[in-house]
Amino acid sequence: MTAVVDPDTGDALPPRAGTADRDLLRLVACGGVGDGKRTLLGRLLYEAGAAREDRLAAVRADAAGRGGGPDYALLLDGPAAERERGDVVHRRFATATREFVVADVPGRERRTGDLVAGASTADVALIVVDARKSLPREVRGHTHLAALLGVGAVVVAVTKVDLVDYGRAAHERISHDYREFARRLGLTAVEVVPTCAPLGDNVGTRSARMPWYEGPALLELLESFPATDRGGDRCFRLPVRYVNQVPPDFRGCCGRITSGAVRPGDPVLVLPGGQRTAVTAVHGGEDDEAVAGESVTVTVADDVDVARGDLLCDPESPAEVTDGFQAHLVWLHEEPMFPGRRYAIRIGARLVRGSVRALRHRLDVDTLDQVPAAGLACDDLGLVDVEVDQPVALDRYQDDRRTGAFLVLDPVTNATVGAGMVRQPARPGAGPSWQRTDVGKAARRLRNGHRPGVVWLTGLSGSGKSTIANLLEQRLHARGVHTYLLDGDNLRCGLNSDLGFRAADRVENIRRTAEVARLMVDAGLVVLVACISPFAADRRLARALVAEGEFCEVHVDAPLEVAERRDPKGLYRRARRGEIADFTGIDSPYEPPDAPEVRIDTTGGTPEDAVAELLARLTAMGMVHS
């Protein structure tokens, strides 16, 4: 067999001449640590004739040095950095009839994010199970995720059958249990192949040592699967990455077709706007036609409004336009996801702001149990309700894996923090929308004679928030400013009396407080908030709820030793004695603000000094008249 392979880089190389018309099959390979996945993949490369000569020589030298059989796993020596980091490695190789891309998912404990990266484009999951084991939890987890990510078929390679004397029983047991488990997930296309990778049994060719097995060898099986679904048969979708304007009148919509095909004359719908028009020209395809996977520039008739981030689609079967959807969300970041926090969300070519409105449950990927949860930690998977600030066009993931997937980004760093699959768009307008009232903020401002705003004091317990806020309110009140002080302790006596001090409770505490502050700003007040508010993301949320210039973040700064020495309520003492858990600064974190409008060091001056400084700042912001 001839082969195209780049096991060094794992990069998707263009196929060698003569292989261009071979069907591509995308595989995701996973298995537990020590289950023999690397040896099997190495042997698969070898059987495909895809191993490099110098690497084969190294394998032979290694075997001779050890005085044992060849270690085929050494053929996989992929990019060192990826292996060290434990990232997914992509390997491309080909046989005479077929080209393969294998996403090799590391068999480590934390793997949800890896699997999402490897499986979201895969056609077939190759799952490795040690013949001596029953179905390990991780195999169940891999299968669950593969099903969720739309991988249509599974090949279970039962490895190490030599260690069960090539017997039929282990194979039959695994085969039965696995099919039963997969059926519950709706996965019915399951093949099971018994293998011994070091000796090559049933990898490239059928093994004489297992006459009871009548199916094909692994490579034969993989060669026989239907080709990768590139989306060409589905309805047309083109996320517009940018609009190329060339005066006086050329306007091309540029992007990569994710599904279907497009030709001049085709009617198209521009979403989320909803304008209907027709394609006048397609640049970038062949013979005026372009199909899924191709990057194109499309021009349309009429002077319709098309902008970067829009979705061009087939009017007969359009994507849904919505400002909310239910989705499976995989969290990929060390900082947990909590409902209410604001994120950037990328769907297709569109980038919007939004948040998880509700976390319905966390899914235990191994047991399929739905577990109640307040947040999602790194590698957790949950079912969530997402709401976005502007309407977006999307499909259900099960209908289209490209326009039904989205990424969640940190709004400040732009790092990817989550990946999701749309399960169900919400009915447009199903959620409540803000009702405009005739007496608005502007009218109240006129009547009050000052601008409204939020003075948000954050800091450790005992740093001085309540003392300063209280004194500031007295001064403002004396000057005729309409104020209200929201103190953490007071809020926790009523509105937030159901909340404790775990991270998720604090997030909800600050979300509610910020929403109340927003309403009070709408009512024309200068709102003083005195809450520890230990997480920067939540303070950002509070800021984002009011208009530019209406938020003044004040870091009431005292080192832990000072706050603890003051201990006005005796809480530090109790926390040190272990009577109070999750106490800020002791066993719960505090993230100081990077760039607050005001930082007050309370180890120095008096509360009066602090208030004088704050008044000056609020005067400059127009909340107070001098």
Ligand X SMILES: Nc1ncnc2c1ncn2[C@@H]1O[C@H](COP(=O)(O)OP(=O)(O)O)[C@@H](O)[C@H]1O
List the one residue from 445, 566, 599, 617 that touches ligand X (CB under 6 A). Answer: 566
Nearest distance from C-beta of residue 606 to ligand PPS, angstroms: 18
Nearest distance from C-beta of residue 514 to ligand X, angstroms: 18
Compose the 136-175 pattern: x for residues touching ligand X by CB under 6 A, - for all others: ----------------------------------------
218 in Cβ contact with 157 (< 8 Å): yes
68/511 Cα distance (integer angstroms):
63
340 part of the interface to ligand PPS, by CB under 6 A? no
Nearest distance from C-beta of residue 142 to ligand X, angstroms: 48
- Feature table: binding site: 459-466
List the one residue from 313, 531, 552, 558 that touches ligand PPS (CB under 6 A). Answer: 531
Element (H, E) at 560: helix 560-566
462 part of the interface to ligand X, by CB under 6 A? yes
| Stretch near ligand X under the rule CB under 6 A, chosen from 44-52, 146-154, 443-451, 465-473 | 465-473
| Stretch near ligand PPS under the rule CB under 6 A, chosen from 2-10, 191-199, 472-480, 487-495 | 487-495
List the one residue from 303, 489, 561, 608 that touches ligand PPS (CB under 6 A). Answer: 489
List the one residue from 582, 591, 609, 613 that touches ligand PPS (CB under 6 A). Answer: 582
569 part of the interface to ligand PPS, by CB under 6 A? yes
584 part of the interface to ligand PPS, by CB under 6 A? yes
List the one residue from 283, 308, 479, 492 that touches ligand PPS (CB under 6 A). Answer: 492
| Stretch near ligand PPS under the rule CB under 6 A, chosen from 39-47, 130-138, 229-237, 582-590 | 582-590
Name the strands in the sheet holding 526-530, side by side, starting at the edge strand that comes first in the sequence: 483-487, 526-530, 453-458, 551-557, 598-601
Compose the 512-551 pattern: x for residues touching ligand X by CB under 6 A, - for all others: ------------------x---------------------
Q: Residue 86 touches which of ligand X, ligand PPS, none (CB < 5 to 8 A by kind)? A: none
Strands 189-194 and 124-130: unpaired
Nearest distance from C-beta of residue 559 to ligand PPS, angstroms: 15
Token pair recorded at residue 277: 């028009």
Q: Residue 357 touches which of ligand PPS, ligand X, none (CB < 5 to 8 A by kind)? A: none
Picking from 397, 539, 532, 371, the residue whose alpha carbon sits closest to that of residue 465 is 532
Strands 483-487 and 526-530: parallel
For residue 530, give the 3-state DSSP assignment: strand
Nearest distance from C-beta of residue 567 to ligand X, angstroms: 9
185/556 Cα distance (integer angstroms):
53
Nearer to ligand X, 159 or 483 (CB): 483
Tell me the DSSP string of 200-243: TBTTTB--TT-TT--S--HHHHHHHSPPP--STTS--EEE--EE
Nearest distance from C-beta of residue 493 to ligand X, angstroms: 15
Compose the 533-552 pattern: x for residues touching ligand PPS by CB under 6 A, - for all others: xx------------------
Burial state string for 247-271 with b = 16 or more CB within 10 A and e = fewer than 16:
eeeeebbbbbbbbbbbeeebebbbb
Strands 275-283 and 295-300: antiparallel
How much of the chain is helix, strand and coil, in % rounded to 5? 25, 30, 45
Q: Catalytic positions, please?
A: 533
199 part of the interface to ligand PPS, by CB under 6 A? no
Nearest distance from C-beta of residue 530 to ligand PPS, angstroms: 7
Picking from 407, 431, 432, 404, the residue whose alpha carbon sits closest to that of residue 320 is 404
Nearer to ligand X, 179 or 492 (CB): 492
Strands 453-458 and 526-530: parallel
| Stretch near ligand PPS under the rule CB under 6 A, chosen from 80-88, 98-106, 191-199, 457-465 | 457-465
For residue 256, give the 3-state DSSP assignment: strand
Picking from 583, 589, 297, the residue whose alpha carbon sits closest to that of residue 462 is 583
| Stretch near ligand X under the rule CB under 6 A, chosen from 143-151, 304-312, 461-469, 474-482 | 461-469
Tell me the DSSP string of 434-485: PPP-SS-HHHHHHHHTS--EEEEEE--TTSSHHHHHHHHHHHHHHTT--EEE
Nearer to ligand X, 202 or 461 (CB): 461
List the one residue from 431, 549, 568, 589 that touches ligand X (CB under 6 A). Answer: 568
The tokens 């390979």 sit on which residue? 29
606 part of the interface to ligand X, by CB under 6 A? yes
Dmax (CA) of the chain:
96
Contacts of 590 (CB under 8 A, 6+ apart): 460, 532, 534, 584
463 part of the interface to ligand X, by CB under 6 A? yes
Nearest distance from C-beta of residue 507 to ligand X, angstroms: 20
59 in Cβ contact with 153 (< 8 Å): no
List the one residue from 202, 467, 483, 496 that touches ligand X (CB under 6 A). Answer: 467
Q: Residue 506 touches which of ligand PPS, ligand X, none (CB < 5 to 8 A by kind)? A: ligand PPS
For residue 311, give the 3-state DSSP assignment: strand
In the complex, the residues that contact ligand X under the rule CB under 6 A are: 459, 461-468, 530, 556, 566, 568, 602, 605-607, 610
